[in-house]
Amino acid sequence: MTTVASELLAPYTGSPSSPPLGGWQLDDVGLSKQWWWQPLLPEHPRPHTPPLAAASLFTGEHLGAELALPYLSPELRGEKLLVGANFASAGVGILNDTGVQFVNIIRIGDQLQYFREYQRKLRALIGDEQAKRLVKGALVLITLGGNDFVNNYYLVPMSVRSRQYAIQDYVPFIISEYRKILARLYELGARRVIVTGTGPLGCVPAELALHSRGGECAAELMRAVDLYNPQLVNMVHGLNRDIGADVFVTANTYRMNFDYINNPQNYGFTNVQVACCGQGPYNGIGLCTAASNVCENREAFAFWDAFHPTEKANRIVVGQFMHGSTDYMHPMNLSTILAVDDEERL
């Protein structure tokens, strides 16, 4: 629900129609830490999939692709490079001053530099032409924007950015900066990029704990999201027009998430406000640790921790990635993308 930055999902060798995968941000599986998430509660028979990795993991499942390793993983070498790479680093944003309170996060500019390095490694492994073809056929998932609100503009009262910009001026500013990032990604060879919008940030347990008295979503954050998402879509459409091709596909993750928040019974949820793991009001304070409250049935909860959806909620979102109408995926969903790419290969 919040943002972290991108993952390259490379062509899967088992099926010509399954592309490689790659990701930026909400897909962080340890790039900034160089370690994999480990089960928090070993007594549970099946560990929870880490929320930051879940979207790309379940997308990979649908595509029949292996989960891409973090770019800085020592295991990412040789044939593993052909699977793709995850460049995401939790906490970063569009702006370099987003997430300054976090240690050792990897800014988006550095992640793009790693993408260049990754391609050099590919060329050394399989040659220039094959490497170029692999990157061109890869699927890239990028999620940015939420942290620029939660961990920047609204991080503290009277933040630097909130004194510099009114919210209606801040949003166009970060959108213009995001356009530069996407244009650079295109310059580096990406040709199939899913750009996710920002979810209903004001409805996550962390924000409810801080700003809600009766369970209502935090109004200021919801206003920011309402400003951001339409401008993101317009920017992406304009970028596609300038390029002359539908390189960038927008994912309406706000609607995907708000569907089950607004109508939980339709999706089998009984709790869409309290996190499964946490402490304090709505289990929305601090991190999920061994000392936290933990729900007995995570299938009934929409949120795993203070910010991130459960595995079940992530699977709902990925289902829309694959098969959603143009209300959710524009101009086409992943299934259509795969069909189009298959036709072009014939």
| pLDDT for position 42 | 32
Q: Is residue 286 part of a domain?
A: no
Range with the poorest average pLDDT among 84-93, 154-163, 218-227: 84-93
Q: Is residue 294 part of a domain?
A: no
Q: Residues 23-40: pLDDT tens digits?
A: 554 444 434 433 333 223
Contacts of 91 (CB under 8 A, 6+ apart): 4, 32, 98, 99, 102, 105, 147, 151
Task: State the average pLDDT for the chain.
Answer: 85
Going by their DSSP bridges, the two strands 21-24 and 193-196 should be labelled as unpaired
Q: Is residue 150 part of a domain?
A: yes
The total of structural domains in the chain comes to 1
Q: Is residue 200 part of a domain?
A: yes
- Distance CA(45)–CA(35), nearest Å, equals 22
Q: Residues 100-126: pLDDT tens digits?
A: 998 888 999 999 999 999 999 999 999
Q: Residues 183-208: pLDDT tens digits?
A: 999 999 999 999 999 999 999 999 99
Q: Is residue 57 part of a domain?
A: yes
Cα–Cα distances (Å) from 316 to 2, 34, 73, 83, 148, in that order, read: 17, 29, 29, 24, 25
- Distance CA(82)–CA(161), nearest Å, equals 41
Q: Is residue 302 part of a domain?
A: no
Answer whether 316's CB lies under 8 Å from 256's CB.
yes
Q: Is residue 77 part of a domain?
A: yes
Contacts of 329 (CB under 8 A, 6+ apart): 249, 250, 251, 252, 320, 321
Q: Is residue 233 part of a domain?
A: yes
Domain of 132, in residue numbers: 5-251
Please tell me the pTM assigned to this model.
0.85
